[in-house]
Amino acid sequence: MTLSSNSQPLISLRGVRKSFGAFEVLRGIDMDIRKGEVVAIIGPSGSGKSTILRTINGLTPINEGTINVGEIKVSDPKLDQVKLRHRVGMVFQQYNLFPHKTVLENVAMAPIQVLKQPRRQVEERARKLLAEMRLPDKANSYPGELSGGQQQRVAIARALCMEPEVILFDEVTAALDPEMVKEVLSAVRKVAEDGMTCILVTHEMGFAREAADHVYFTDKGVIVEHAPPADFFTSASDPRTKEFLSKVL
Amino acid sequence: MTSINLFSQILEWMPFVLQGFALNILMSLLAIAVGTLMGTFLGLGQLSTLKPLGIPSKLATQLFRNAPWLVLLFYCIFLMPYQVNIGGVVIQLPSWLRATIGFSFPVAANFSEIVRGSVNSIPRGQWEAAEALGYSRRATLFRIILPQCITRMIPPWMNLYALLLTATPLSMIVGVEEALGRTQAAVQAQGDSRVLIPMYLALLAMFFFYTWPINRLSLVVERRFRTK
């Protein structure tokens, strides 16, 4: 957050629109996210927060507008998918680990198979990441043998192992039991503190307040307002934001 | 005394019937092998996003799945040549072999549906996670989705095999000398109406004791994989 705010943004969205059938989920989204920034997107369910994340790594194609990640134009039909996924990692609400692969394989397989990096080097990195996620002894376990919190930390290690520039966190604590939320949030916080650019969709207002550099509030497919958390949570100006905050805080 | 005579008389015919039953087993093993291979391609074809591949695969699957097995059998028996000439080598196609090919069509269609169903039963999140890691659709299917499907496909595949075996006596109608045909022939040859019921009971027992363990095993396998 101390990075000069006039530097070129790493990620920028301009006039992004997306419809599913007749339902317009995103109705003109503009965002700028700089390198190293931690951005939280909050808002009522169905407001399009998750869709914003999924458009950034191309999981959801957009109908209108432009999205740029570094020099990559995401909406380009000739987009190099592997290059984009190399730069943008993602962690899902339901972890989505591969159940037939061990924890180590889950973390290491994509850099080996997709990025064609040497196995030994990747596995070494994967073990280091598992240690950082406080799962050093779980490398040979299967996902089904781990708790939800542990699985989500494996998923974070898996995203990190691709050595991305930005990680998208899609409601990563929403499927967890309350006692596991904290361990996952502290893992996310560690990733953010190590300088990773993070975009989080979250319902954890306390976490957004503490960890984010910038908070976006979405409602009905538009960004209603955005501000640093200190301002956002104390002096929200829009009535929709006020109403939402009064419900969740 | 007469019942002992009757028993030994029936026993005398058993090797004859059992040889027929061996043909049922042979036909079922060949048909499941060929059908599984063809069904794998049909199933993957059904999952393809390429229309020239997807639509014919779906059509073929529906056609062979919904046609009576006996009708398919008639087609293969009467429309296929008795012998084929491959590069000067003449290969005879006896009726049991043509019947086996006839059985492999409905097996392929049913297995095609097993493949499609098990792939579709894998949560969408697996596809998304793989896509987010840079895997192409094809690489996702072969490296991530199908390996998870194999355990899910085994129980229905075993059931399909059991179903196939119990359908093989249909080939009697087109003149294959399998267990049912031979039982019938044996009953007629003995010219004794008292053997009728025990002979058919013996035939029933053969099928039952072969198929029942397979069905039991498929249940065990299903339970084991479900809890995993």
In contact, A169 and A42? CB cutoff 8 Å: no
* Average model confidence (pLDDT) across chain A: 91
| Strand locations in chain A (E) | 11-20, 23-33, 38-42, 64-69, 72-73, 88-91, 166-170, 197-201, 214-219, 222-227
Q: How much is the pLDDT for B17?
A: 93
User: What residues of B are in the A interface, CB distance below 8 Å?
Assistant: 123, 125-126, 128-136, 139, 143-144, 147-148, 228
CA distance B207 to A232: 75
pLDDT of amino acid B226:
65
Range with the lowest mean pLDDT among A199-203, B27-31, B122-126, B219-223? B219-223
A110: nearest CB among B126, B134, B148: B134
Q: Do A94 and B125 touch (CB under 8 A)?
A: yes
Give me the mean pLDDT over the B190-215 stretch. 91
What CATH number should be reported for the domain holding residue B191?
Answer: 1.10.3720.10
**pLDDT exceeds 60 at position B190:** yes
Query: 3-class SS at A215?
Result: strand
pLDDT recorded at residue A1: 45
Cβ atoms of A40 and A212 closer than 8 Å: yes
- Residues of A contacting chain B (CB within 8 angstroms): 57, 59, 81-82, 85-86, 89-90, 92, 94, 96-100, 109-110, 113-115, 144, 158, 162
B107's tokens: 């097996």
**What band does A2 get if pLDDT is binned at 50, 70 and 90?**
very low
Q: What is the pLDDT of residues A60-89, one digit of tens each?
A: 999 999 999 999 999 888 888 899 999 999
Return the pLDDT at B88. Answer: 83
Could B133 and A162 be called an inter-chain contact, meaning their C-beta atoms sit closer than 8 Å? yes
Nearest C-alpha of chain B: how many angstroms from A69?
15
Q: Which residues of B touch A110 (CB under 8 A)?
A: 133-135
Check CB contact under 8 Å for B134 and A81. Answer: yes
Task: Inspect the interface and report whether the beta carbons of B126 and A96 lie closer than 8 Å.
Answer: yes
ipTM: 0.91
pLDDT tens digits for A90-104? 999 999 999 999 999
pLDDT tens for each residue of A215-246: 999 999 999 999 999 889 888 888 888 888 88
Q: How far is CA B46 from CA B36, B114, B135, B143, B156, in A?
A: 15, 11, 21, 18, 18
If you write DSSP's letter for every residue of A182-201 in order, what string do you get?
HHHHHHHHHHHHTT-EEEEE
> Contact, A197 vs A80, CB < 8 A?
no
Instruction: Give the minimum alpha-carbon distance from A237 to chain B in angstroms, rounded to a whole number.
Output: 36
- B82 pLDDT higher than 90: no
Residue B92 has what pLDDT?
Answer: 84
- Residue B154, helix vs strand vs coil: helix
Q: Region B13-39: what's the mean pLDDT?
A: 95
CATH number for the domain formed by residue range(s) A11-248: 3.40.50.300
| Domain extent at residue B191 | 2-83+91-227
Mutate to test the interface with A, among B121, B128, B133 (most CBs of A within 10 A): B133
> Which strands, in side-by-side order, build the sheet including A166-170?
A88-91, A166-170, A197-201, A38-42, A214-219, A222-227
3-class DSSP state of A120: helix
Quote the mean pLDDT of chain B: 91
What does the alpha-carbon distance between residue A43 and residue A228 come to, in Å, rounded to a whole number?
Answer: 15
The domain segmentation of chain A, as residue ranges, is 11-248
Measured in whole angstroms, how far is the alpha carbon of residue A187 from the centre of its chain?
13
Is this structure's pTM higher than 0.90? no
**pLDDT tens digits, B159-179:** 999 999 999 999 998 889 999
CA distance B69 to B35: 13
Distance CA B126, CA A178 (A): 25
- For residue A87, give the nearest of A163, A188, A24 by alpha carbon: A163
**Record: contact B228-A144, CB cut-off 8 A:** yes
Query: CA-CA distance, A30 to B166, in Å (whole number)?
Result: 65
A85 to B134: CB separation less than 8 angstroms, yes or no? yes
Query: What does the DSSP assignment read for B119-152?
Result: HHTS-HHHHHHHHHTT--HHHHIIIIIHHHHHHH
Q: What are phi and psi of A21, to 5 degrees?
A: 65, -130
Residues B17, B89 contacting (CB under 8 angstroms): no
Which residue from A122, A121, A100, A120 is spatially nearest to A111, judged by alpha carbons?
Answer: A122
Q: In terms of DSSP H, where are the helices of A88-228? A: 103-113, 119-132, 148-161, 178-193, 205-211
What's the CA gap between B30 and B94, in Å, rounded?
Answer: 14
Taking the C-alpha atoms of residue A109 and residue A103, their distance in angstroms, rounded to an integer, is: 10
Q: For residues B66 and A37, give the distance between their C-alpha atoms in angstroms, rounded to a whole number.
A: 59
pLDDT tier at A6 (50, 70, 90 boundaries)?
A: low
> Looking at the 3D structure of chain B, how many domains does it have?
1
